[in-house]
Amino acid sequence: MSLTLTEIVATLGGELHGDGACRIHQVAPLGRANAGEIGFVAHPKYRDSLDGCKASALVLPPALINASDLPRIIIQDPYLYFARLTQLLNPIRRSEPGVHPTAVVLSPVPASASIGANAYIGENCQVGEGVVISPGCVIGEGCSIGADSYLHAHVILYADTHVGRRCILHAGCVIGSDGFGNARRPDGSWEKIPQIGRAILGDDVEIGANTTVDRGALDDTVVENGARIDNLIQIAHNCRVGEHAAIAGQAGMAGSSTLGKRVMVGGQAGIMGHIDVGDDIVISARSFMSKSVMERGVYTSAIPSQSHKEWLRNAVHLKHLDAMADRIRALENKLKELESKA
């Protein structure tokens, strides 16, 4: 697909400067953009990246309106505009409607749905219009999938899972598997606690590859509308992820924890069970949240990187923190005695 800048602005908005007939067929990073491609600068501090740019056109913020003679679209939020432009030039390739002859389908599906090779759909399922279920997917009994959702290869939905409209589930993710619920017997062995809740995904949710969202033990596990969950993430039973929250790769939520609306969780961060994180909070990568926080802000508990030599030197002191604290208290007491005698 290719579009002129005039056509792009007519669709997405923005203020056009320069040749509107300039034709664009793809987006590209500034460092390697060539003829027929468009690049962007999100912030004036990256102005120097325009030097030597070979793109045919640019998307720029108002502060850089005169930073280049290339045809350009001026917009307040170039990053968001670039995301929408990328979607416009790269529409999702939809599979042809129909049911592959090797698929096992035990529930009615609309004619507009696409069911891939060796997919399985159990009994009493509801599949919406335009749904794509790719090869190797397994849809358990009683599941529902909203219109225009896209399940990539080998997605597994356990029984009674609900997926909203326009969701994207990437390869290998598992929704609705049993939560980690076990009761200790007197002899130290384990009694499994049946997980009788469901896993529910709202509308416009995206789940990354090989991520797991466990079903609830008693209540449901819920991922609300518009949430974005990256690859290799664990969402435990009874958790709730708020609207438009975003969780980066390898993070984990322990059971019955809650993220508010628009929360952002960095990669490899951990959320302890039975705590609440309020709306609009940011948790830095590799941080561990051990208590509830409701006040907006950025929370960090990660250890900063340092050279191995520095780390070894500091590790020696860590072993003696208790003794050092005792010495400090003793010195403080002596100082108080001296001050009282002065």
Task: Give the pLDDT confidence of 182-213 residue by residue, as tens digits.
Answer: 999 999 999 999 999 999 999 999 999 999 99
Q: Is the pLDDT of residue 304 over 80?
A: no
Q: Is the pLDDT of residue 315 over 90?
A: no
State which amino acid sits at residue 133: I
Exposure string over 280-316, b if 16+ CB within 10 A, otherwise e: ebbbeebbebeeeeeeeeebeeeeeeeeeeeeeeeee
The alpha carbons of the chain give a radius of gyration, in whole angstroms, of 27
DSSP 336: H
Task: For residues 279 and 272, give the distance between their C-alpha atoms in angstroms, rounded to a whole number.
Answer: 17
Q: Is the pLDDT of residue 1 over 90?
A: no
Task: Give the residue-averaged pLDDT of 70-86.
Answer: 97
State the pTM of this model: 0.89
Task: For residues 181 and 45, give the distance between their C-alpha atoms in angstroms, rounded to a whole number.
Answer: 50
DSSP 78-143: HHHHHHHHHHHHS---PPPSEE-TT-EE-S---TT-EE-TT-EE-TT-EE-TT-EE-TT-EE-TT-
- Give the pair of three-digit tokens for residue 121: 């759909």
Q: Which residues are catalytic?
A: 237
pLDDT band at 94; cut points 50, 70, 90: confident
State which amino acid sits at residue 50: L
Give the residue from 207, 194, 212 showing the smallest Cα distance to 163.
207
Number of Cβ atoms within 10 Å of the Cβ of 154: 19
pLDDT band at 54; cut points 50, 70, 90: very high
In this structure, the strands spanning 190-192 and 182-184 are antiparallel
**Per-residue pLDDT at 286:** 94
What residues contact 234, with CB distance under 8 A and at least 6 apart?
Answer: 211, 212, 214, 252, 253
Q: Is the pLDDT of residue 178 over 90?
A: yes
Q: Is the pLDDT of residue 303 over 80?
A: no
Give the residue from 88, 86, 70, 64 showing the smallest Cα distance to 20.
70
In what helix (H) or strand (E) does residue 10 lie, and over which residues does it extend? helix 5-12
Q: Is the pLDDT of residue 342 over 80?
A: no
Task: Give the residue-averaged pLDDT of 37-62.
Answer: 94
Sign of CA dihedral 324, 326, 327, 328: positive
CA distance to 138, 193, 224, 240, 270, per residue, from 217 (Å):
22, 8, 18, 13, 20
Contact by Cβ (8 Å): 108, 129? no
- Give the pair of three-digit tokens for residue 251: 């993070």
